Structure 1
Amino acid sequence: MKVTLISIPVRDQEKARKFYTEKLGFKIKKDDDLGGGNRWLTLVSADWEDGPEILLEPGPVHFEPCKVYQDALLEAGYPYTQFDVDNVDAEYERLTKLGVEFSAKPTTLDTVKYAILNDTCGNNIQLVEYLK
């Protein structure tokens, strides 16, 4: 068994596509029209194109419990998911220059360094660097 796809709830797929590709640097893997303004829109890491796909899921638009859960996580400051990076400080600097907002600046905690950003689509995303 292996993970091939994870879903991130977004309120606007097009806005999310722009943020995740233009700011975070992911690449589009699939973009299929499902009708009704919905798309099967998946992304992959630019340096791991055969890795797991991220589905930008319009769940909060169509399923109220998804929106309630997303709102609760955002309000509490909890990340929806985590992306590993080689250097949190470098990503923080790069993304800050692109206008990305962070609720937590790079912080070291035991064997990791992390920062938390707002994806502009209803989610906090945690960036993590594993320290040696």
Structure 2
Amino acid sequence: MVAQQRLALISLLVPSYQAGIAFFVDQMGFDLHEDTDLGGGKRWVRVGPKDAETGFLLAKAVGAEQIAAIGNQGGGRVWLFLQTDDFARDHAAMTTKGVTFEEAPRDESYGQVAVFRDPFGNRWDLIQFKG
């Protein structure tokens, strides 16, 4: 038997569960896959793009070190890449819903791309690959 592995979740620090849900579900249009109360103020909150294999576990930052890391998990670089099959559609929808792009869309050798920030400071690429 061949072992199978896949990336299931990426933990993303947020200031509060509600702030994370408000952005990812309400503005980005992601699905809320699960929101389970674990007691003691902790929740298991999973969000992700519709039909995506990998999603995010929204982790409420606790303590000074985690709070300081909100929005800087990529060290200031683009570290999250949202692939689309229709760049113009998704760019327009995201802009309409208040997502802030740092730049106008541009064409690169690998595809069409534009950088945006989530409200927590994380830098993303919205990208449609060529071919």
- Place the TM-score, normalised by the shorter chain, in its bin: 0.7 to 0.9
Query: In the alignment, does 2:21 pair up with 1:17?
Result: yes
Identity in percent: 22
1:92 maps to what in 2? 91
Q: Distance in 2 between matches of 1:68 and 1:94?
A: 31
Q: Distance in 1 between matches of 2:88 and 2:94?
A: 10
For structure 2, the 5+ residue unaligned runs are none
Q: Which amino acid aligns with 1:7?
A: S
Give the CA RMSD over aligned residues.
2.3
Q: Report the 3-state secondary structure (helix = DSSP H, G, I; strand = E; otherwise coil) of the residue aligned with 1:33.
A: strand
Larger radius of gyration: 2
Q: Number of aligned residue pairs: give it.
A: 127
Return the structure number with greater helix share.
1
Q: Distance in 1 between matches of 2:27 and 2:72?
A: 25
TM-score, length basis structure 2: 0.80
- Mapping of residues 75-114 of structure 1, within 5 Å: 76=76, 78-114=77-113
TM-score, length basis structure 1: 0.80
- Does the 8 A contact of 2:70 with 2:120 survive in 1? no
**TM-superposition CA deviations, 1:25-64 (whole Å, max 9, x none):** 1111111112333211001322x16x22311122xx2254
CA 1:66–1:82 in structure 2 vs 1: closer, same or farther (change >3 Å)?
A: farther
Q: Distance in 1 between matches of 2:82 and 2:116?
A: 11
